[in-house]
Every structure is written in structure tokens, then in C-alpha cells.
């Protein structure tokens, strides 16, 4: 008797939408999604970011409206980036109690209450006139330890203004420990830290630099962000941040680094976030605008893949839209 093939029929469970839905291994929920938002000082109307269709530099008022819509869609949180009207060498707007992010945080804390988590990006590049993430020395290098003092002060200013979670993204050594200590000393023992632990020196951040107006005036970020060639050092960065007191860790970018997301998820027992960055967003929007790919399917596939790789949380500029769809 000849063998009868196929012996197994995996297609049985793929036959109908109901079957596929029932056996799906990965699910997206609105609470998994975090919306990054930009608020700019001194503008009368929200300004579209050309390289990120659908993303705006908000006024305080338009931010309130968009944040309300995100909360209604059920997003897990929003993360705020500020664009100050005046920048200087030390980024003094970053920890000014009347700086744009602090004002916006107070607005959102009073509007949103506990409906969604209010978070901040904690860095200097949006606030410095040279566009670097820290204090620059006379020879043009970034002074790690002088920068830490600034981060400590920014963390306290953001927590004072109502941030429930701060997200240090500058890749300075020791930043999580210094921030934890400063928060605790200021009485903010309940403010959590989402550490951008694994952050690559990536070309995918291109459009963000228009949105946050923070392209470096000279040099690049390769002296402090990770080399895309390296994987093992990501684990070292994550473990250091956990030792220093991080509550959650992040991998950034997401799509081109799913192997890293997976390794980090396997290594730690805290929530793992992945940041689907501006370039990932721009590529899909641009190809969809040309009619070359199906926009909605590609967005949902990209998010599902990041979840499948092991991310518990996804920072994505599509958070509100995707939350409505899942
Ligand atoms: C630093 C920061 C950057 C991004 C988030 N936080 C830029 C950078 O490191 O150069 C990029 C996010 C994106 O591309 O969407 N404050």
C-alpha cells in the first residue's frame, strides 16, 4: 500500500476567520499600545510633521484633545516629548517648572486622571541648541557625568509636574541609578522608570529629528548609542539598568531588532517595551501613499510581529488608530 499524503493537515485550523481568531497565539490589546506625542511651545496651531503624515507638533490645547482621543481608544499610555521655543547649551527648558513639557503634564494630569498612564521622554536633545543628548565639552564630546546631573533634575521636574513614568533615553552610563536616587530623595518613590536600555544608533530615527527639532548640529550619536552590529551588549545594558532600578526596559527601534526583543524577553522578568520608531512609521505611510502596500494590514502585521517577538508594550505613532482596531 502506498503512503497517503498529506498525513497531517495544519490547514484545518486556518480555514475560517473564526478558527484563525480562536487559535491565534498573539493578541494585541489597546492597553499594550503607548502613543508618543510632541508638544511645542509658542505655536498657535498644531503643525503637521511632513515626514510623518498624521503626526503633529501639538499646541497645549491640541495635545489635550489628541490625548483625550487616545485615552478614549484605550491606549495603555502616552509618552510626551517637548519642543521648547528657546534652546541653549544645557537645555535649561527641560527642567524649568514652566517648561513646555511640565505645563503639558499638568494639563494632562488634570484632564486624564487615571484613565491612561502619563509618561515622559527624559533626554536633553530636544532642549539643547546643539541637538545632543547631553552636556558637550569644549572638545565636542558628551560629558557623561555632567549630563547625569541634568537628567536627575529633569526627572524631578517631570515627576513634580505629574509624570507617572519617566523614560530616560539618552544612553548615558549610570542614568537610571542617578534618576532613581534623585526621584527617591525628592519623595517621588512611586514614579516608575521605563529605561530605554537598548537603544541603537539608528538611521530609522530620521523623521523624529524633524518632529522634535533635534538633529545634532555636528557629529552623531554613535559614541553613546549602540552599534547595530552588536547583540550581546544589549543584554548587558538591560541587566545594568535593572540593577540600577529600572521598572521596565525598552528596545529601540523595534522592527529591525526583533531578535533583540526576543532575547531581552527571555532574559528578564519585568515588562519589555519596544519602540516602533519614526522611520518605521514613515516607511509604511510612504509606501501606502504610493499604493504599494495595504496600509492597514501592514500596520497591524508590524505590530503583531513586535508582540510575537516578545514585547509586552509597543510605543507606536499609530497607537490610537490601532487601539480602535484591536
Ligand atoms: C531621544 C530620542 C530619540 C527618539 C526617541 N527619543 C532620538 C534619538 O535618539 O536620536 C527617536 C524616536 C523615533 O525615531 O521615533 N530623545
CA 48 to chain centre: 19
Please compute the mean of the pLDDT values over residues 164-168 and round it to a whole number: 98
87 belongs to the catalytic site: no
pLDDT band at 271 (very low <50, low <70, confident <90, very high): very high
Q: Is the distance from the beta carbon of residue 281 to the nearest atom of ligand 1 less than 6 Å? A: no
The answer, yes or no, to whether residue 253 has pLDDT greater than 80, is: yes
CA of 316 to the centre of ligand 1 (A): 12
Nearest CA to 79 out of 20, 28, 34 is that of 34
pLDDT at 231: 97
**Is residue 169 in contact with ligand 1, taking CB distance under 6 Å?**
yes
What is the ipTM score, two decimals? 0.96
**What's the whole-number average pLDDT of the chain?**
96
Q: What is the pTM of this model?
A: 0.96
What average pLDDT does the segment 23-32 reach?
A: 98
What is residue 116's predicted lDDT score, i.e. its pLDDT? Answer: 97
Tell how far the Cα of 60 is from the centroid of ligand 1, in angstroms.
Answer: 21
pLDDT at res. 1: 55
Is 252 part of the annotated catalytic residue set? yes
Architecture label for domain 27-325: Alpha-Beta Barrel (3.20)
pLDDT of 217? 83
Lowest mean per-residue pLDDT among 36-45, 207-216, 289-298: 207-216
Please list, residue by residue across 6-41, b when 16 or more beta carbons sit within 10 angstroms of its beta carbon and e when fewer do.
eeeeeeeeeeeeeeeeeeeeeebebebbbbbbbbbb
What is the residue extent of each domain of the chain? 27-325
**Residue 299: is its pLDDT beyond 80?**
yes
Mean pLDDT on 299-322: 98
Please give the distance, rounded to the nearest whole angstrom, from the Cα atom of residue 314 to the centre of ligand 1: 15
Residue 30: band (very low, low, confident or very high) from pLDDT cuts 50, 70, 90: very high
Amino acid at each position: 500500500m502506498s503512503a497517503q499524503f498529506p498525513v497531517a493537515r495544519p490547514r484545518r485550523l486556518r480555514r475560517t476567520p473564526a478558527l484563525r481568531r480562536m487559535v491565534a497565539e498573539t493578541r494585541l490589546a489597546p492597553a499594550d499600545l503607548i502613543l508618543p506625542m510632541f508638544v511645542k511651545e509658542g505655536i498657535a496651531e498644531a503643525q503637521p510633521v511632513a515626514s510623518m503624515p498624521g503626526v503633529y507638533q501639538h499646541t497645549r490645547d491640541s495635545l489635550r484633545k489628541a490625548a483625550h482621543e487616545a485615552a478614549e481608544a484605550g491606549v495603555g499610555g502616552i509618552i510626551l516629548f517637548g519642543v521648547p521655543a528657546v534652546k541653549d547649551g544645557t537645555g535649561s527648558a527641560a527642567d524649568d517648572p514652566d517648561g513646555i513639557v511640565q505645563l503639558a503634564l499638568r494639563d494632562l494630569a488634570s484632564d486624564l486622571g487615571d484613565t491612561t498612564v502619563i509618561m515622559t521622554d527624559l533626554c536633553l536633545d530636544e532642549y539643547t541648541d546643539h541637538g545632543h543628548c547631553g552636556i558637550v565639552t569644549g572638545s565636542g564630546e558628551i560629558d557623561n557625568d555632567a549630563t547625569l546631573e541634568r537628567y536627575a533634575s529633569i526627572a524631578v521636574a517631570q515627576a513634580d509636574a505629574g509624570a507617572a513614568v519617566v523614560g530616560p533615553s539618552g544612553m548615558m552610563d549610570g542614568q537610571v541609578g542617578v534618576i532613581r536616587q534623585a526621584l527617591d530623595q525628592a519623595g517621588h518613590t512611586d514614579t516608575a522608570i521605563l529605561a530605554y536600555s537598548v537603544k541603537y544608533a539608528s538611521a530609522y530615527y530620521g523623521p523624529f529629528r524633524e518632529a522634535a527639532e533635534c538633529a545634532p548640529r555636528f557629529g552623531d550619536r554613535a559614541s553613546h548609542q549602540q552599534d547595530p552590529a552588536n547583540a550581546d551588549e544589549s543584554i548587558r545594558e538591560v541587566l545594568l539598568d535593572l540593577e540600577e532600578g529600572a521598572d521596565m526596559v525598552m528596545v529601540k527601534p523595534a522592527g529591525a531588532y526583533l531578535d533583540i526583543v526576543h532575547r531581552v524577553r527571555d532574559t528578564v522578568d519585568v515588562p519589555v517595551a519596544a519602540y516602533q520608531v519614526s522611520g518605521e512609521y514613515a516607511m509604511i505611510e510612504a509606501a501606502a501613499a504610493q499604493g504599494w502596500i495595504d496600509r492597514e494590514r501592514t500596520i497591524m502585521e508590524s505590530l503583531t510581529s513586535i508582540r510575537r517577538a516578545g514585547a509586552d508594550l509597543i510605543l507606536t505613532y499609530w497607537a490610537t488608530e490601532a487601539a480602535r482596531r484591536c
